[in-house]
Structure 1
Amino acid sequence: MLSVGDELKDGFDISIDYLDQNISFIEDIKEFYIKRKEVTKEYLMNMKKINVDMLDLITKNSINISVGSKPIMTPGSLVNSSITTVRKLVNDNIDKDLNKINDIVINDLTSLINDLKNLSMYLKNIYKEMMNNYHAICETNLNNYKKKYDEATKNMEQARAKGSSSDKITKREVAMNEAKNLYLIEIALANRVKDKLYFQDIPELLDLLQNTVKFKVQKFNTFLSKHLNNCIHNANSNISVYKEEINYLTENLPDLDVEMFIKHNKKPWQEPQDKVFIASPIWYEEPIFNVKLEEDLKILSIKYKKAIEDKSYLQSEISKQLDNMKSLRGQILEASEKNGLNFALLKQYSASLQRFTDLENQNLRVEVIIDSLKNNFKDINLDNLNFKEEKKKSGIFSKLKIGRSKSKSSNKDSSEVIDNRYEDSRDQSDDVASTMNSFAASSISGAGINTEIHRENKPTFSQGSSSSAAPNAVALYSYQAQDSDEIDISPNDKLRTLKNDVNGWTQVLNVTSGKTGNIPTSYMKITEVSNTSKVPPTVVPRRKKGNNENPKVLCKYEYIAQGDDEISIHPGDQIEVLRPEDENGWALGLCNGNKGLFPMSYC
């Protein structure tokens, strides 16, 4: 037997239209019997009138017909057999139960139409939910995750461009990685949902529709056969015609209608294309998971464990629903073979299918999360990862005991500023550290794990007080700070530039308000050139004997300045060391005209 679900991929629209057309046809048949009832009613009234006239005529002429007009002896109430026979023929000529028969078939057809309309409504509702879920995941949700990913990359680039603190950059990077990872998961989910919709959900729904059509044919045959048998029981003539019509109905097999419909509607079907990763326009990346920081792995680990928990519940519910559907399928098959399909059974199966589809959609998201993470992190045991409460943010030096003792003498040179550093550590279990090391060596991200430098009380070199510096710019427009490293400005505020324009942002001192932060460069006008980058230290460095040139080092890794007393360095930069490395790994240097502290371990 042909299956609509197998033969007509994505064929719900034409199939439900086919079912509705058949329902409309049965309504036409019902209307025929309603009109026939009206005609029959009129016929019976006319028949009754002429029968009454005929019986009156018989009564009036019964004596004359029986014994003549002038009998020697009147017969009383007796009449001859001819009159008795005619009376019987006149009475039997009225089909007294014709309207009752018509009422029965009309009621039967009304019941069938109502059942079919309800089943059609159930099918449409299930299909609507399927398509709503498909569009929500494959279009709306996917577009939203893409938008969040693009926004996160934009925020990351802005933080880097404005020379934000390491903490802030790390936070933006974690947000960007999380947005990308969720976007990748959503792409995988969209493709799985698409496959499930076209290769499981719609075919299953079309098979239910096919059983609804078979139910229509079986009930139609049953009700018309019942009607014809009532006609035979009530009729004095045309019995052979009624029996012939019943034989025709036995040849009206339920599967024939479906097979004809399939053969005349089958066509080649093109599966919709899979969704693919679209890189951010300002931060091009490959479609691979980003786990460069421990926080990235922690976020994914939490999602993984939550998915494992949800899967346990969903699998249990799906198993129960599947058992129920299998039982109902068996009943439907058995009833179909015995011409016993009924509305209650199909309604029950449609409700079960709706519930099963909903559970499977929930489970699909869970499975995609689990499969995506397992397939991409094959060397990591995600089930055994444990993260303890973080004490502080840490970075590449989190394992080092950084501390500088206070000066033993108060007569120290003022250039040797007292600095206390505290160990910035995070309690981590060995399995997490091992996991991160394992991941760093994996091929998922060639960059490995990017870490940050977190410094608290860092070495400083004194510069002239910026608050007393003369303004060299003026604000043109009002701007409201949108981030913690930005400041408000109003038109005509006097400004002092502290850092040059970087990607449309300039760090300034608002002399009017006394606040320091970033503002859009286009919102201000330079009134004189700033020389703040050349402000000398408070104490002039001692001249060295012999060679007057300071040593230079070559930068190997990029470091972004985290404060005003630091400098950003990039691979290949030549850095002039103005003050040697202290015991904590920091040196004072000059690079590209900028002077400040930098980590020697990056050179």
Structure 2
Amino acid sequence: MSIGDSVLDGYKQTSSWVDNGIAWLEDLSEFYKERASIERESAQRLAQLTSKYFDKKAAASAKLSVGDLPVTTPGSLENQSLQTWQVLLHQSEATSQQRMKLADQFGRQVCNDLDVLRSRFEDLSKQFKKFDEHIEDRLKETIKKVSKQKHNYDNSCEQMESARAKGKKSVDSKQSDMYNAKNEYVVQVNIANRMKDKHYHDDIPQLLDAMQRANEARVAQTNRLLAAATQCEKNALENCTSGMNLALEAIEQNKPSLDTQMFVEHNANGFTFRDPPDFFFQPSNIWHDNDAIYTGSDTAVKFLQAMLNAALGKSDKASTASQSLMTMYTTAKESVEGVDFFQMKPQQATPLLRAEAKSLEKLVDAESDRLEIEVEIEAIEAATASVDMSSVPQTRLKTHRTLFGKKKEVVEVTNEKSKSHKTLGLTSLLARTSLINPGSSQSETVLVLYDFTAAGVGELSVQAGNTANLIENDDGTGWVKVDFQGQQGLVPSTYVQVQSSSAGSQPVSQSASHYTTPSFDSASISSQPLQASQPSQAPAPPPTRGSKNKMEALYDYAAQDASQLSIYVGAVITVTEPDDGSGWTTGTLDGSQGIFPTSYARPV
């Protein structure tokens, strides 16, 4: 596209447009000057901030790594979190340096060159203006010559006509001069027309095309400088990105357990902690006795029998309560252990941790109650082991109030069946919490009776005739958790049969009585077809665990924000969106909708 061919006699418009483009270079230069100032200020502030937090990290390094009272000092060692933090601080420092470098490049390579480019093209624009003035002067000179020849021609005509009117002999001479002037005038008219055509169709278009090339060259030069500025910024960002990738790698390597490991290593070695001394029996100053339980009289034995009966009456209830809370705690603990907290938001993570802590608190209280009863039974049974209790009448302790407070007395009980108890033993809480679920055994396997195709989250596809390891027994939901070929998931309890080494084959779900479970000989499974003793069709699987329309709250939960739902024990919640594996279910209760921890409720 040519400006000269398209914008006829368009010098003024073109010149103004070109000058505007040249003046715009000053804006670009000012922009990068201000950018350089911002980058320099940012670099300085970032460097100051990084230095400040390097100092804070150094001051807090030891106590963050190994605590305030370590047995072994860490020296220059730091835990993994602090090493990760140091990588991030170094990357911030490197980012500061990149920003300072970028500010210098904007100043040296961009702003200075833009100023030079503007100056050179301003000079070029002035040259174009002089050229335009020159060709305009040439055209004006040509027009003046036409006017001059026209004036000469008119004078010659007047002189010839005056001579003819007066009858002078010079008429012929004057007529010859007139025709000569005419010819000069006609020639000059032709010259002027050709010069005019040259001016408007050759000189000006050529000038405009030259200005076009100059403007396009200015754009190209501007592009070169803008590209240089952008490349400088891109290089700085790529260097920062490379550093950020290193920081991300450091964060990924910061496994949460590494800090714990370092803390333990520096606090466990040479640990001098000792349990507080045991309590011991201190005889009265008046009656010097030993620490043996007294069984030397019928009255004492009756009293012990009554204490034992009272403890036995509480034992089963305490054991049941403890075991129930143990199951709840195990579920809450597994919910925490099975979660990738890196992928969760704080409002999703903290309720899970809070649920675990709350269930542990309840379990510890129940375990303390159970332990008190178990020790009381153990101590009395050990003391009365050599005493013939068959002749001792059944008794119980009766507590009643008097004017002087409570008083206990032994009361004989008739027609009372002897009570037995099943002691849980003095197993430690930590040892008991390692159990998977009551009633399940690591040595138990299940035989798959029917093909099952997974249709929901957490389910596992299995084929009839295969054997899988039983991980979790049916807890009333109609599902069992198995390990099949290295994968774990849920299978309908009516689709499998327990193959235990200590007991015969038995159905996993005792409640699944709508069909007869066939009996199998584990030694001949591969040689006997399953269809001979099975129903023609597999029973329908129960609804996917956690996806039922209704759930009953097992614990109280207070919503932490507007997206969550407050629930209370016993409340029946309508499920609108099942658990998608995040540990949260969406439901409605009392007109409110939100998410609540799945482990806080059970399907109904």
TM-score by length of 2: 0.34
Which structure would you say has the larger Rg?
Answer: 2
TM-score by length of 1: 0.35
